[in-house]
Structure 1
Protein backbone atom coordinates (compact mmCIF):
# COMPACT_ATOMS: atom_id res chain seq x y z
CA UNK A 1 0.00 0.00 0.00
CA UNK A 2 1.31 3.44 -0.86
CA UNK A 3 0.37 6.53 1.12
CA UNK A 4 -1.87 7.73 -1.72
CA UNK A 5 -4.20 4.73 -1.32
CA UNK A 6 -4.87 5.31 2.37
CA UNK A 7 -8.08 7.23 3.01
CA UNK A 8 -6.79 9.29 5.94
CA UNK A 9 -3.32 10.64 5.20
CA UNK A 10 -1.28 11.63 8.25
CA UNK A 11 0.11 14.61 6.32
CA UNK A 12 -3.35 16.17 6.18
CA UNK A 13 -3.69 19.19 8.51
CA UNK A 14 -6.69 17.62 10.26
CA UNK A 15 -4.98 14.27 10.91
CA UNK A 16 -3.84 15.22 14.42
CA UNK A 17 -7.41 16.11 15.31
CA UNK A 18 -8.60 12.77 13.93
CA UNK A 19 -6.17 10.92 16.18
CA UNK A 20 -7.40 12.84 19.23
CA UNK A 21 -11.03 12.07 18.42
CA UNK A 22 -10.32 8.39 17.81
CA UNK A 23 -8.42 8.14 21.08
CA UNK A 24 -11.32 9.71 22.97
CA UNK A 25 -13.79 7.29 21.40
CA UNK A 26 -11.75 4.09 21.42
CA UNK A 27 -9.10 4.19 24.14
CA UNK A 28 -11.39 3.22 27.04
CA UNK A 29 -12.39 -0.06 25.36
CA UNK A 30 -8.85 -0.72 24.12
CA UNK A 31 -7.37 -0.16 27.58
CA UNK A 32 -9.99 -2.44 29.11
CA UNK A 33 -9.09 -5.20 26.67
CA UNK A 34 -5.32 -4.81 27.05
CA UNK A 35 -5.53 -4.56 30.83
CA UNK A 36 -7.46 -7.82 30.79
CA UNK A 37 -4.42 -9.62 29.39
CA UNK A 38 -2.68 -9.46 32.76
CA UNK A 39 0.57 -7.90 33.94
CA UNK A 40 2.55 -6.41 31.04
CA UNK A 41 5.61 -5.53 33.11
CA UNK A 42 8.77 -6.43 31.24
CA UNK A 43 6.91 -7.42 28.06
CA UNK A 44 7.95 -6.64 24.48
CA UNK A 45 5.01 -4.88 22.82
CA UNK A 46 4.46 -3.84 19.21
CA UNK A 47 1.87 -1.15 18.43
CA UNK A 48 1.35 -1.47 14.67
CA UNK A 49 -0.12 1.53 12.88
CA UNK A 50 0.21 3.59 16.05
CA UNK A 51 -1.42 6.78 14.73
CA UNK A 52 -1.28 9.43 17.43
CA UNK A 53 0.45 7.19 19.97
CA UNK A 54 -2.10 7.11 22.78
CA UNK A 55 -2.08 3.31 23.05
CA UNK A 56 1.71 3.13 22.69
CA UNK A 57 1.99 5.59 25.59
CA UNK A 58 -0.27 3.44 27.76
CA UNK A 59 1.67 0.29 26.86
CA UNK A 60 5.00 1.94 27.68
CA UNK A 61 3.73 2.86 31.13
CA UNK A 62 2.59 -0.71 31.78
CA UNK A 63 5.66 -2.46 30.30
CA UNK A 64 7.96 -0.34 32.43
CA UNK A 65 11.71 0.08 32.09
CA UNK A 66 12.23 -3.67 31.92
CA UNK A 67 10.01 -3.98 28.87
CA UNK A 68 9.88 -2.25 25.51
CA UNK A 69 7.27 -0.79 23.17
CA UNK A 70 7.79 -0.14 19.47
CA UNK A 71 5.25 2.12 17.77
CA UNK A 72 5.20 1.84 13.99
CA UNK A 73 3.37 3.74 11.31
CA UNK A 74 3.63 4.28 7.57
CA UNK A 75 3.86 7.98 8.42
CA UNK A 76 4.91 8.38 12.07
CA UNK A 77 4.87 12.17 12.15
CA UNK A 78 2.29 12.27 14.97
CA UNK A 79 4.25 9.92 17.25
CA UNK A 80 6.29 11.52 20.02
CA UNK A 81 9.74 10.29 20.93
CA UNK A 82 9.73 11.27 24.61
CA UNK A 83 7.01 9.05 26.06
CA UNK A 84 8.85 5.80 26.64
CA UNK A 85 8.25 4.03 23.35
CA UNK A 86 10.46 3.73 20.26
CA UNK A 87 9.21 4.90 16.87
CA UNK A 88 9.74 3.25 13.49
CA UNK A 89 8.53 4.24 10.02
CA UNK A 90 7.21 0.93 8.71
CA UNK A 91 4.98 -0.36 5.91
CA UNK A 92 2.97 -3.35 7.12
CA UNK A 93 2.05 -4.25 3.57
CA UNK A 94 5.54 -4.35 2.10
CA UNK A 95 7.97 -5.02 4.95
CA UNK A 96 8.45 -7.89 7.39
CA UNK A 97 7.19 -7.48 10.94
CA UNK A 98 10.07 -5.73 12.73
CA UNK A 99 12.18 -7.32 15.49
CA UNK A 100 10.18 -10.46 16.38
CA UNK A 101 9.29 -12.23 18.55
CA UNK A 102 6.78 -10.07 20.45
CA UNK A 103 4.88 -10.79 23.63
CA UNK A 104 2.02 -8.52 22.54
CA UNK A 105 1.06 -7.08 19.16
CA UNK A 106 -1.83 -4.62 18.95
CA UNK A 107 -3.29 -3.00 15.83
CA UNK A 108 -6.39 -0.77 15.81
CA UNK A 109 -8.26 0.47 12.74
CA UNK A 110 -5.30 -0.50 10.59
CA UNK A 111 -5.68 -3.78 8.74
CA UNK A 112 -9.16 -3.04 7.39
CA UNK A 113 -7.59 -0.29 5.27
CA UNK A 114 -4.93 -2.58 3.75
CA UNK A 115 -5.81 -4.83 0.80
CA UNK A 116 -3.37 -7.52 2.01
CA UNK A 117 -5.04 -7.57 5.45
CA UNK A 118 -5.33 -11.36 5.75
CA UNK A 119 -1.69 -11.95 4.84
CA UNK A 120 -0.58 -9.21 7.23
CA UNK A 121 -2.54 -10.81 10.07
CA UNK A 122 -0.77 -14.11 9.33
CA UNK A 123 2.61 -12.37 9.54
CA UNK A 124 1.68 -10.67 12.81
CA UNK A 125 0.59 -13.99 14.29
CA UNK A 126 3.84 -15.63 13.22
CA UNK A 127 5.83 -12.78 14.85
CA UNK A 128 4.49 -13.61 18.32
CA UNK A 129 6.64 -15.28 20.93
CA UNK A 130 5.28 -18.58 22.29
CA UNK A 131 2.36 -17.60 24.50
CA UNK A 132 2.30 -14.14 22.94
CA UNK A 133 -0.96 -12.33 22.24
CA UNK A 134 -2.32 -10.61 19.14
CA UNK A 135 -5.05 -7.99 19.61
CA UNK A 136 -6.79 -6.66 16.50
CA UNK A 137 -9.49 -3.99 16.85
CA UNK A 138 -11.57 -2.91 13.88
CA UNK A 139 -14.75 -1.05 13.16
CA UNK A 140 -17.45 -2.92 11.29
CA UNK A 141 -18.93 0.25 9.80
CA UNK A 142 -20.70 -1.14 6.76
CA UNK A 143 -24.04 -1.44 8.54
CA UNK A 144 -26.80 0.95 7.53
CA UNK A 145 -29.22 2.67 9.88
CA UNK A 146 -26.76 5.09 11.42
CA UNK A 147 -29.17 7.76 12.62
CA UNK A 148 -30.91 7.25 15.96
CA UNK A 149 -32.34 10.78 16.20
CA UNK A 150 -32.11 13.93 14.09
CA UNK A 151 -33.55 17.46 13.95
CA UNK A 152 -35.73 16.43 11.00
CA UNK A 153 -36.15 13.81 8.29
CA UNK A 154 -34.07 15.79 5.81
CA UNK A 155 -31.10 15.87 8.17
CA UNK A 156 -31.44 12.16 8.89
CA UNK A 157 -31.50 11.33 5.18
CA UNK A 158 -28.42 13.46 4.52
CA UNK A 159 -26.41 11.75 7.25
CA UNK A 160 -27.44 8.33 5.98
CA UNK A 161 -26.42 9.31 2.44
CA UNK A 162 -23.05 10.53 3.71
CA UNK A 163 -22.52 7.21 5.48
CA UNK A 164 -23.53 5.15 2.45
CA UNK A 165 -21.02 7.03 0.28
CA UNK A 166 -18.24 6.69 2.84
CA UNK A 167 -18.53 2.96 3.49
CA UNK A 168 -19.98 1.92 0.14
CA UNK A 169 -17.73 3.87 -2.19
CA UNK A 170 -14.88 5.91 -0.75
CA UNK A 171 -13.28 3.48 1.70
CA UNK A 172 -13.58 0.45 -0.63
CA UNK A 173 -12.27 2.59 -3.48
CA UNK A 174 -9.07 3.09 -1.48
CA UNK A 175 -8.67 -0.61 -0.74
CA UNK A 176 -10.54 -0.69 2.57
CA UNK A 177 -13.10 -3.21 3.76
CA UNK A 178 -15.55 -1.55 6.21
CA UNK A 179 -17.00 -4.95 7.13
CA UNK A 180 -13.73 -6.74 7.85
CA UNK A 181 -13.99 -6.46 11.63
CA UNK A 182 -16.37 -9.40 11.58
CA UNK A 183 -13.78 -11.55 9.77
CA UNK A 184 -10.90 -11.14 12.21
CA UNK A 185 -11.97 -13.93 14.57
CA UNK A 186 -11.96 -16.49 11.77
CA UNK A 187 -8.70 -15.13 10.37
CA UNK A 188 -6.99 -15.58 13.74
CA UNK A 189 -8.18 -19.17 13.96
CA UNK A 190 -6.95 -19.79 10.41
CA UNK A 191 -3.56 -18.36 11.44
CA UNK A 192 -3.30 -21.05 14.11
CA UNK A 193 -3.90 -18.89 17.16
CA UNK A 194 -5.67 -20.36 20.17
CA UNK A 195 -7.98 -18.98 22.84
CA UNK A 196 -9.47 -16.60 20.27
CA UNK A 197 -12.19 -14.36 21.67
CA UNK A 198 -14.07 -11.34 20.36
CA UNK A 199 -15.92 -8.62 22.21
CA UNK A 200 -18.12 -6.17 20.29
CA UNK A 201 -19.09 -2.76 21.57
CA UNK A 202 -20.96 0.29 20.31
CA UNK A 203 -22.67 3.28 21.85
CA UNK A 204 -24.58 6.33 20.67
CA UNK A 205 -22.74 9.46 19.56
CA UNK A 206 -24.53 12.80 19.89
CA UNK A 207 -23.58 15.85 17.89
CA UNK A 208 -20.71 17.66 19.57
CA UNK A 209 -19.10 14.49 20.92
CA UNK A 210 -15.92 12.98 19.52
CA UNK A 211 -17.67 10.25 17.53
CA UNK A 212 -20.04 12.60 15.77
CA UNK A 213 -17.26 15.11 15.09
CA UNK A 214 -15.53 12.45 13.01
CA UNK A 215 -18.12 13.26 10.33
CA UNK A 216 -16.57 16.69 9.81
CA UNK A 217 -13.03 15.29 9.82
CA UNK A 218 -13.99 12.63 7.27
CA UNK A 219 -15.47 15.32 5.05
CA UNK A 220 -12.36 17.46 5.32
CA UNK A 221 -10.08 14.59 4.35
CA UNK A 222 -12.28 13.04 1.67
CA UNK A 223 -14.05 16.12 0.30
CA UNK A 224 -13.25 15.48 -3.41
CA UNK A 225 -14.68 11.97 -3.13
CA UNK A 226 -17.90 13.13 -1.52
CA UNK A 227 -18.35 15.80 -4.18
CA UNK A 228 -17.68 13.29 -6.97
CA UNK A 229 -20.31 11.00 -5.41
CA UNK A 230 -22.96 13.72 -5.75
CA UNK A 231 -22.98 15.63 -2.48
CA UNK A 232 -22.76 19.40 -2.83
CA UNK A 233 -20.67 21.90 -0.91
CA UNK A 234 -23.89 22.96 0.78
CA UNK A 235 -24.55 19.34 1.79
CA UNK A 236 -21.06 19.02 3.23
CA UNK A 237 -21.42 22.24 5.17
CA UNK A 238 -24.72 21.05 6.61
CA UNK A 239 -23.15 17.72 7.63
CA UNK A 240 -20.36 19.55 9.43
CA UNK A 241 -22.97 21.67 11.22
CA UNK A 242 -24.97 18.59 12.17
CA UNK A 243 -21.84 16.95 13.60
CA UNK A 244 -21.97 19.63 16.32
CA UNK A 245 -25.76 19.58 16.81
CA UNK A 246 -26.75 17.57 19.91
CA UNK A 247 -30.12 16.86 18.34
CA UNK A 248 -28.33 14.51 15.95
CA UNK A 249 -27.60 11.16 17.55
CA UNK A 250 -25.90 8.41 15.55
CA UNK A 251 -25.05 4.83 16.34
CA UNK A 252 -21.34 4.39 16.89
CA UNK A 253 -19.64 1.86 14.68
CA UNK A 254 -19.43 -1.67 16.03
CA UNK A 255 -15.94 -2.12 17.49
CA UNK A 256 -14.75 -5.71 17.16
CA UNK A 257 -11.90 -6.39 19.59
CA UNK A 258 -10.39 -9.81 18.91
CA UNK A 259 -7.68 -11.48 20.96
CA UNK A 260 -5.72 -14.60 20.07
CA UNK A 261 -2.69 -16.32 21.56
CA UNK A 262 0.18 -18.24 20.01
CA UNK A 263 0.70 -21.69 21.47
Structure 2
Protein backbone atom coordinates (compact mmCIF):
# COMPACT_ATOMS: atom_id res chain seq x y z
CA UNK A 1 0.00 0.00 0.00
CA UNK A 2 1.30 3.47 -0.86
CA UNK A 3 1.65 5.61 2.22
CA UNK A 4 -0.27 8.90 2.20
CA UNK A 5 1.90 11.97 1.78
CA UNK A 6 1.87 14.42 4.67
CA UNK A 7 0.16 17.52 3.31
CA UNK A 8 2.66 20.09 4.56
CA UNK A 9 6.18 18.77 4.02
CA UNK A 10 8.94 20.37 6.10
CA UNK A 11 11.25 20.16 3.08
CA UNK A 12 9.11 22.68 1.19
CA UNK A 13 10.80 26.07 0.91
CA UNK A 14 7.82 27.81 2.49
CA UNK A 15 7.53 25.46 5.48
CA UNK A 16 9.46 27.81 7.78
CA UNK A 17 6.92 30.55 7.04
CA UNK A 18 4.12 28.12 7.95
CA UNK A 19 5.71 27.34 11.31
CA UNK A 20 6.12 31.06 12.10
CA UNK A 21 2.50 31.78 11.19
CA UNK A 22 1.17 28.87 13.21
CA UNK A 23 3.18 30.01 16.22
CA UNK A 24 1.78 33.54 15.88
CA UNK A 25 -1.78 32.23 15.64
CA UNK A 26 -1.70 29.43 18.19
CA UNK A 27 1.04 29.97 20.75
CA UNK A 28 -0.95 32.32 23.02
CA UNK A 29 -3.75 29.77 23.48
CA UNK A 30 -1.34 26.84 23.73
CA UNK A 31 0.76 28.59 26.38
CA UNK A 32 -2.36 29.54 28.34
CA UNK A 33 -3.54 25.92 28.25
CA UNK A 34 -0.17 24.50 29.27
CA UNK A 35 0.34 27.11 31.98
CA UNK A 36 -2.75 25.78 33.73
CA UNK A 37 -0.82 22.55 34.39
CA UNK A 38 1.31 24.28 37.03
CA UNK A 39 5.03 24.08 37.69
CA UNK A 40 6.98 22.06 35.13
CA UNK A 41 10.36 22.30 36.84
CA UNK A 42 12.11 18.98 36.39
CA UNK A 43 9.15 17.42 34.58
CA UNK A 44 9.78 15.18 31.57
CA UNK A 45 8.01 16.74 28.58
CA UNK A 46 7.53 15.26 25.11
CA UNK A 47 6.67 17.71 22.33
CA UNK A 48 5.48 15.39 19.55
CA UNK A 49 5.49 16.75 16.02
CA UNK A 50 7.30 19.84 17.27
CA UNK A 51 7.35 21.70 13.94
CA UNK A 52 9.19 24.98 14.41
CA UNK A 53 9.92 24.35 18.08
CA UNK A 54 8.24 27.37 19.68
CA UNK A 55 6.34 25.32 22.27
CA UNK A 56 9.31 23.06 22.97
CA UNK A 57 11.28 26.22 23.76
CA UNK A 58 8.47 27.47 25.99
CA UNK A 59 8.48 24.23 27.98
CA UNK A 60 12.24 24.55 28.46
CA UNK A 61 11.78 28.13 29.69
CA UNK A 62 9.32 26.79 32.28
CA UNK A 63 11.90 24.34 33.62
CA UNK A 64 10.88 21.20 31.76
CA UNK A 65 13.25 18.55 30.47
CA UNK A 66 12.05 18.48 26.87
CA UNK A 67 12.35 16.06 23.97
CA UNK A 68 11.12 17.58 20.69
CA UNK A 69 10.34 15.05 17.97
CA UNK A 70 9.34 15.39 14.35
CA UNK A 71 9.22 13.24 11.26
CA UNK A 72 11.46 15.86 9.67
CA UNK A 73 13.10 17.96 12.41
CA UNK A 74 14.98 20.32 10.11
CA UNK A 75 13.22 23.41 11.55
CA UNK A 76 14.01 22.57 15.17
CA UNK A 77 16.87 24.57 16.68
CA UNK A 78 19.69 22.87 18.54
CA UNK A 79 20.50 25.79 20.86
CA UNK A 80 17.25 26.20 22.81
CA UNK A 81 17.74 23.62 25.53
CA UNK A 82 15.52 20.84 24.21
CA UNK A 83 16.70 17.55 22.72
CA UNK A 84 15.77 16.86 19.09
CA UNK A 85 14.81 13.43 17.77
CA UNK A 86 13.75 12.39 14.28
CA UNK A 87 10.74 10.19 14.97
CA UNK A 88 7.74 8.74 13.14
CA UNK A 89 4.65 8.67 15.36
CA UNK A 90 2.89 6.36 12.92
CA UNK A 91 5.43 3.54 12.86
CA UNK A 92 7.69 3.87 15.91
CA UNK A 93 7.01 3.41 19.63
CA UNK A 94 6.67 6.51 21.78
CA UNK A 95 10.28 7.30 22.73
CA UNK A 96 11.62 6.87 26.25
CA UNK A 97 8.46 6.74 28.41
CA UNK A 98 7.10 7.53 30.92
CA UNK A 99 6.38 11.24 30.42
CA UNK A 100 4.90 13.82 32.78
CA UNK A 101 3.56 15.87 29.87
CA UNK A 102 2.97 14.97 26.23
CA UNK A 103 1.79 17.71 23.88
CA UNK A 104 0.95 17.48 20.18
CA UNK A 105 -0.51 20.33 18.11
CA UNK A 106 -1.99 19.96 14.62
CA UNK A 107 -0.32 16.58 14.27
CA UNK A 108 -2.65 13.61 14.74
CA UNK A 109 -5.35 14.95 12.41
CA UNK A 110 -2.89 14.47 9.51
CA UNK A 111 -2.05 10.84 10.39
CA UNK A 112 -4.35 7.99 9.33
CA UNK A 113 -3.53 5.95 12.46
CA UNK A 114 -4.47 8.91 14.71
CA UNK A 115 -6.65 6.96 17.16
CA UNK A 116 -4.03 4.27 17.73
CA UNK A 117 -1.33 6.91 18.13
CA UNK A 118 -3.38 8.70 20.78
CA UNK A 119 -3.72 5.39 22.65
CA UNK A 120 0.07 4.94 22.56
CA UNK A 121 0.67 8.48 23.79
CA UNK A 122 -1.77 8.00 26.66
CA UNK A 123 -0.07 4.74 27.63
CA UNK A 124 3.32 6.50 27.65
CA UNK A 125 2.31 8.88 30.47
CA UNK A 126 3.63 8.57 33.99
CA UNK A 127 0.96 8.26 36.71
CA UNK A 128 -0.57 11.72 37.02
CA UNK A 129 0.99 12.78 33.71
CA UNK A 130 -1.01 14.85 31.22
CA UNK A 131 -1.68 14.47 27.52
CA UNK A 132 -2.62 17.67 25.66
CA UNK A 133 -3.81 17.40 22.06
CA UNK A 134 -4.65 20.51 20.02
CA UNK A 135 -6.39 20.26 16.67
CA UNK A 136 -8.19 22.53 14.23
CA UNK A 137 -11.80 21.86 13.29
CA UNK A 138 -11.91 23.12 9.72
CA UNK A 139 -14.55 20.93 8.04
CA UNK A 140 -17.25 23.59 7.78
CA UNK A 141 -18.84 25.78 5.13
CA UNK A 142 -19.19 29.56 5.23
CA UNK A 143 -15.59 30.56 5.86
CA UNK A 144 -15.93 34.12 4.50
CA UNK A 145 -17.09 36.81 6.92
CA UNK A 146 -16.41 39.76 4.60
CA UNK A 147 -15.08 40.14 1.06
CA UNK A 148 -14.70 42.86 -1.58
CA UNK A 149 -17.46 41.30 -3.71
CA UNK A 150 -19.54 38.11 -4.09
CA UNK A 151 -17.20 36.63 -6.69
CA UNK A 152 -14.27 36.91 -4.29
CA UNK A 153 -16.27 35.27 -1.51
CA UNK A 154 -17.27 32.42 -3.81
CA UNK A 155 -13.66 31.83 -4.88
CA UNK A 156 -12.42 31.64 -1.28
CA UNK A 157 -15.26 29.28 -0.34
CA UNK A 158 -14.36 27.06 -3.29
CA UNK A 159 -10.70 27.03 -2.22
CA UNK A 160 -11.71 25.98 1.30
CA UNK A 161 -14.08 23.27 0.08
CA UNK A 162 -11.29 21.75 -2.02
CA UNK A 163 -8.76 21.96 0.82
CA UNK A 164 -10.85 20.28 3.53
CA UNK A 165 -13.04 18.17 1.28
CA UNK A 166 -10.43 16.73 -1.08
CA UNK A 167 -6.77 17.56 -0.50
CA UNK A 168 -6.36 16.97 3.24
CA UNK A 169 -8.44 13.76 3.25
CA UNK A 170 -6.63 12.62 0.12
CA UNK A 171 -3.37 12.78 2.06
CA UNK A 172 -4.77 10.83 5.00
CA UNK A 173 -5.97 13.80 7.05
CA UNK A 174 -9.25 14.23 8.89
CA UNK A 175 -10.37 17.89 9.21
CA UNK A 176 -13.08 16.75 11.65
CA UNK A 177 -10.82 14.84 14.06
CA UNK A 178 -10.71 17.70 16.59
CA UNK A 179 -14.21 16.89 17.80
CA UNK A 180 -13.33 13.22 18.36
CA UNK A 181 -10.29 13.74 20.58
CA UNK A 182 -12.24 14.15 23.83
CA UNK A 183 -14.00 10.81 23.40
CA UNK A 184 -10.76 9.15 22.30
CA UNK A 185 -9.02 10.29 25.48
CA UNK A 186 -11.84 8.91 27.62
CA UNK A 187 -11.68 5.62 25.71
CA UNK A 188 -7.92 5.53 26.36
CA UNK A 189 -8.64 5.59 30.08
CA UNK A 190 -7.54 9.15 30.86
CA UNK A 191 -9.17 11.00 33.73
CA UNK A 192 -10.36 14.58 34.11
CA UNK A 193 -10.64 15.09 30.34
CA UNK A 194 -11.52 18.66 29.39
CA UNK A 195 -11.73 20.50 26.09
CA UNK A 196 -11.38 24.24 25.56
CA UNK A 197 -12.31 25.74 22.18
CA UNK A 198 -11.19 29.06 20.74
CA UNK A 199 -11.38 30.91 17.42
CA UNK A 200 -11.20 34.43 16.00
CA UNK A 201 -11.55 36.17 12.66
CA UNK A 202 -8.59 36.42 10.29
CA UNK A 203 -8.33 39.51 8.10
CA UNK A 204 -6.16 39.60 5.00
CA UNK A 205 -2.56 40.34 5.96
CA UNK A 206 -2.75 38.57 9.32
CA UNK A 207 -1.02 35.27 9.92
CA UNK A 208 -4.25 33.30 9.69
CA UNK A 209 -5.23 34.70 6.31
CA UNK A 210 -1.66 34.41 4.99
CA UNK A 211 -1.87 30.67 5.56
CA UNK A 212 -4.18 30.64 2.54
CA UNK A 213 -1.23 31.60 0.33
CA UNK A 214 1.07 29.11 2.05
CA UNK A 215 -1.46 26.30 1.56
CA UNK A 216 -1.64 27.15 -2.14
CA UNK A 217 2.14 27.11 -2.43
CA UNK A 218 2.47 23.72 -0.76
CA UNK A 219 -0.56 22.05 -2.37
CA UNK A 220 -0.61 23.78 -5.76
CA UNK A 221 -0.72 20.60 -7.89
CA UNK A 222 -3.72 19.37 -5.94
CA UNK A 223 -5.63 22.64 -6.29
CA UNK A 224 -4.96 22.66 -10.03
CA UNK A 225 -6.07 19.05 -10.38
CA UNK A 226 -9.26 19.93 -8.48
CA UNK A 227 -10.13 22.56 -11.06
CA UNK A 228 -8.80 25.88 -9.82
CA UNK A 229 -6.88 27.78 -12.50
CA UNK A 230 -3.44 29.36 -12.28
CA UNK A 231 -5.16 32.75 -12.41
CA UNK A 232 -7.53 31.85 -9.58
CA UNK A 233 -4.67 30.63 -7.42
CA UNK A 234 -2.85 33.88 -8.09
CA UNK A 235 -5.92 35.86 -7.05
CA UNK A 236 -6.29 33.79 -3.87
CA UNK A 237 -2.64 34.43 -3.02
CA UNK A 238 -3.21 38.17 -3.49
CA UNK A 239 -6.35 38.08 -1.37
CA UNK A 240 -4.39 36.56 1.53
CA UNK A 241 -2.92 40.03 2.00
CA UNK A 242 -6.08 42.07 1.30
CA UNK A 243 -7.60 43.40 4.57
CA UNK A 244 -11.00 43.62 2.88
CA UNK A 245 -11.14 39.82 3.04
CA UNK A 246 -12.02 38.47 6.49
CA UNK A 247 -12.33 34.75 7.05
CA UNK A 248 -13.46 32.67 9.98
CA UNK A 249 -10.51 31.25 11.88
CA UNK A 250 -10.54 27.52 12.51
CA UNK A 251 -11.87 26.35 15.86
CA UNK A 252 -8.92 25.24 17.99
CA UNK A 253 -9.87 22.31 20.23
CA UNK A 254 -7.40 21.93 23.11
CA UNK A 255 -8.12 18.66 24.92
CA UNK A 256 -6.27 17.46 28.02
CA UNK A 257 -6.49 14.30 30.09
CA UNK A 258 -4.51 12.80 32.96
CA UNK A 259 -3.15 9.31 33.49
CA UNK A 260 -4.64 7.51 36.47
TM-score by length of 2: 0.99
**How far, CA to CA, are the matches of 1:184 and 1:233 in structure 2?**
37
Distance 1:117 1:108 in 2: 13
Displacement of 1:22: 0.3
| Deviations 1:236-255, CA, capped at 9 Å, x for gaps | 00001100000000000000
Contact map agreement 1:150 1:248 (CA 8 A) in 2: yes
- The Cα offsets for residues 211-249 of structure 1, whole Å up to 9 and x where unpaired, read as 000000000000000000000000000001100000000
Residues 22-56 of structure 1, C-alpha deviations (whole Å, 9 max, x = no match)? 00000000000000111111100000000000000
- Number of the residue aligned with 1:29: 29
1:110 to 107, 110, 121: 107
CA 1:83 to 1:3, structure 2 compared with 1: closer, same or farther past 3 Å?
Answer: farther
The counterpart of 1:219, out of the listed 205, 208, 216, is 216
After superposition, the C-alpha distances for 1:175-219 in whole angstroms (9 at most, x for unaligned) are 000000000000000000000000010000000000000000000
C-alpha change, 1:10 and 1:208, in structure 2 (3 Å) is: same
5+ residue gaps, structure 1, are none
1:260 aligns with 2:222: no
Q: What are the superposed Cα offsets for residues 116-145 of structure 1, whole Å, 9 maximum, x if unpaired?
A: 000000000000000000000000100111
Deviations 1:65-109 (A, max 9, x none): xx4100000000000010010000000000000000000000000
Q: Which residue of 1 aligns with 2:48?
A: 48
How far did 1:4 drift? Answer: 6.2
After TM superposition, the score normalised by the length of structure 1 is 0.97
Cα distance between partner residues in 2 of 1:57 and 1:144:
35
How many Å separate the matches in 1 of 2:253 and 2:4?
27
Contact conserved, 2:4 with 2:172, CA < 8 A, in 1?
no
Q: Which residue of 1 aligns with 2:154?
A: 157
Q: Report the CA distance between 1:3 and its aligned residue.
A: 8.3
2:133 corresponding residue in structure 1: 136
- How far apart are the structure 2 equivalents of 1:95 and 1:2? 18
Root mean square deviation, CA, Å:
1.1
Q: In structure 2, which of residues 155, 170, 174 is the aligned counterpart of residue 173 of structure 1?
A: 170
Q: Do the aligned partners of 2:118 and 2:184 also contact (CA within 8 Å) in 1?
A: yes
Q: Distance in 2 between matches of 1:50 and 1:2?
A: 25
- The whole-number CA distance in structure 2 between the counterparts of 1:70 and 1:230 is 42
CA distance in 1, matches of 2:100, 2:50: 17
